[in-house]
């Protein structure tokens, strides 16, 4: 397999600065059960902190279906496709490998064919909606921090 060169357009629908990413791929035999155990606690604690380190992830989800033979991974993110994938592969490659190692053909985040594997399993959404298409994750975090400070100030003044 040859490495896909950075293209000007990657798969995925866009709404303002928000982008969707949907991946559907087969699981290894027994992979569904192992993935369920791995993700039983969801995205809390260290897993949430690791994901937050990316700084562009609005949401994400894993869904196992087809009698435990396939998994859907979907996310909404800021920025362009290549930067998003590069961030995962360089900031939290071990976490990424842990989460996707049950997927058939997954080469690993550090493998030069990583993006090829993603593109081969990616499905572009027919329609994509974002409630705040012009607000980045960092904008939302900042707004929530400002609201918290303002609420505290108003509570103190009351």
| Domain, as residue range, for 129 | 14-157
CB-side exposure of 156: number of CA atoms within 13 Å? 6
0.95 cut: is pTM over it? no
Task: Let me know if residue 4 belongs to a domain.
Answer: no
pLDDT at 116 over 70: yes
Mean pLDDT of 6-16: 74
Task: Let me know if residue 8 belongs to a domain.
Answer: no
Mean pLDDT of 92-121: 96
Task: Let me know if residue 46 belongs to a domain.
Answer: yes
What counts of helices (H) and strands (E) characterise the chain? 6, 4
Mean pLDDT of 93-111: 96
Phi, psi of 29 (to 5 degrees): -55, 130
Task: Let me know if residue 6 belongs to a domain.
Answer: no
Task: Let me know if residue 19 belongs to a domain.
Answer: yes
Instruction: Provide the CATH number for the domain around residue 19.
Output: 3.30.70.100
What are the start-end ranges of the E strands in 7-158? Answer: 14-15, 18-26, 57-65, 70-78
Please write the tens of the pLDDT for every residue from 117-135.
999 999 999 999 999 999 9
Q: For residue 9, what pLDDT is reported?
A: 63
pLDDT at 78 over 50: yes
Number of domains in the chain: 1
The two tokens of residue 108 are 């690993």
Task: Let me know if residue 143 belongs to a domain.
Answer: yes
Q: For residue 4, what pLDDT is reported?
A: 37
Task: Let me know if residue 139 belongs to a domain.
Answer: yes
Secondary structure class of 38 (helix, strand, coil): helix
Q: For residue 6, what pLDDT is reported?
A: 40
Please write the tens of the pLDDT for every residue from 30-71.
999 999 999 999 999 999 999 999 999 999 999 999 999 999
High-pLDDT (> 90) share of the chain, %: 83
Task: Let me know if residue 100 belongs to a domain.
Answer: yes
Cβ neighbours, 10 Å, residue 72: 16
The two tokens of residue 1 are 């397999």
């Amino acid at each position: 397999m040859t490495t896909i060169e950075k293209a000007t357009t990657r798969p995925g629908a866009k709404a303002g600065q928000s982008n969707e990413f949907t991946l559907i791929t087969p699981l290894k035999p027994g992979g569904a059960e192992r993935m369920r155990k791995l993700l039983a606690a969801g995205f809390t604690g260290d897993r949430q902190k690791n994901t937050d380190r990316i700084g562009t992830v609005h949401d994400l989800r894993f869904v196992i279906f087809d009698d435990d033979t396939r998994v859907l991974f979907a996310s909404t993110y800021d920025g362009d496709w290549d930067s998003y994938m590069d961030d995962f592969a360089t900031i939290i490659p071990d976490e990424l490998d842990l989460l996707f190692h049950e997927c058939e053909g997954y080469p690993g985040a550090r493998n030069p064919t990583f993006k090829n594997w993603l593109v081969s399993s990616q499905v572009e959404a027919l329609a994509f909606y974002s409630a705040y298409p012009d607000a980045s994750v960092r904008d939302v975090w900042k707004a929530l921090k400002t609201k918290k400070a303002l609420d505290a100030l108003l509570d103190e003044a009351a």
